Structure 1
Amino acid sequence: MTSAPHLLTEDRPEFQRLLDEALRNAPERPDLASIGERLNAEQLRTMAMDASGILIGAAAPEYEHFVKVREDHRDPALRGPATADEAPGRVGAGAVVAVLAPVLSGTAMLIFLLVGYLLKLLDPAPAFAGTMLTAGWLFGALTVLAILFAAVGLLVTAVRNSATEVVPEDPQDIPEEVSRAREAWQHALLERGILPFLRDALADPGADPAAGAPYRPAGRIPQLGYTRPDFTSPAAEEPARRPGYSSPDFTSPDVGGPDRLPD
């Protein structure tokens, strides 16, 4: 069994847009004029979204061609692998350091300053009280530097992401071949997928979106590559005849009376 293709994330809004447009214009089409009598637009949309794999599969060749043409015309720089600086491991380590460094240095500053000033209250004050205060102010300076480092890192990351962000293409900048492939896919998806599905759902009296199971119109379910085995019971034979028997023939001996003795 071949499964229906899945839409890429960037193409899912287009599928939903075509579905919503078909539902919005349904009252103007004679074959969909019965919308709202038994099933309303929202119910039909829910049923179509549940069966989206079947609808998408109706235009699978056109979609595969569209994706291939679009990838061939995209900027190779936008399709290339991420650089070493943008590797997930390095980005994650930098984010951890940027967050933890100010927290740890700030915590150490508070501890050393608090202990140092408490020791200063003693009379006489211990000699290492000044050392504790010096260490506290040193960690305070490190905290300020860590905060500045984190701010600069966030700014650089924002600038880098804005420079590599893929912005939506202007329709005027789309190559003609890509535009034709997209229109062919949209037409096939609408005419062979969405509209027939809506017609079948409106014409099927058993279509019930509240039943819980996704609706599958007859004739639009992918055929499985096997058939159910034909189990047949063996022909019933005539019951065997019970073996016949007769009771043994018991006969009494020829015994005479007491007055008749053997010679």
Structure 2
Amino acid sequence: MHMTSAPHLLTEDRPEFDRLLDEALRTANERPELAALGERLNAEQLRTMAMGASAILTAAAAAEYNHFVKVREDLRDEALTASGRAGEHQDDGQDGGAGVSAIVAVLAPVLAGTAMLIFLLVGYSLKMLDPEPAFAKTMLTAGWLFGALTVAALLFAVIGLLVTAVRNSSTEVAAEETVVIPDELSRAREAWRNALLERGIMPFLRDALADPSTRPGSPVRRLPSSRMPNLGYTAPDFTSPGTSGGATRPGYSPPDFTSPDFGGPEHESE
């Protein structure tokens, strides 16, 4: 038995199947072939049956779905490649300046603040001595100078962060505005939706309503053979036990028994 994999929807496409099914049931009153909805089966019962037969229904539009998935994957690969190249060029132009700015913004306040604490601590300690050393005022002056540098470095770091945030936000908005769905992908998606609705969902709903033997909870019905896609496999060829199928039965012959009077050559009369 030769078998290929039957088509199954990807996780991201399952909601689209649910939307199409809900749309078909919601607009059933606009379709004459679904006029029997509500007599034996209501919309929720039909939806449950269709969800149970989702693999059969989606197989009816397998060709269109495979094309849609291929187009989508190709476009994603192209977008990832283009994005990677743009990122490389942007990094090449900004890595040097951005790296130096980041180092300065981080280290300058830390170093200046550390120097301020050291000089002020030493300067005030010297002022407590008697007599006061001459360079105590120099240490205090240097400490306050480094304090001013610390404040300036903090302001520089804050301004740099704000500029970076504004630049990134403007880039993100521009990228979102330029995102459009290509025509090829839209056509492939619409072709799959139409095929799934007209060759899968609608025939299933119509046949379920037309078959008087269909009841809620009954086994899932298969589409008629004229609408069933070729899934690539054939059933094994079984034959009944009574069918010879061209084979010959083994021959049988009973054993050759002789009467008790026969005793063999050694008992022949003299």
User: TM-score of the superposition, structure 2-length normalised?
Assistant: 0.48
User: TM-score of the superposition, structure 1-length normalised?
Assistant: 0.49
- Which structure has the higher relative contact order (CA within 8 Å, separation 6+)? 2
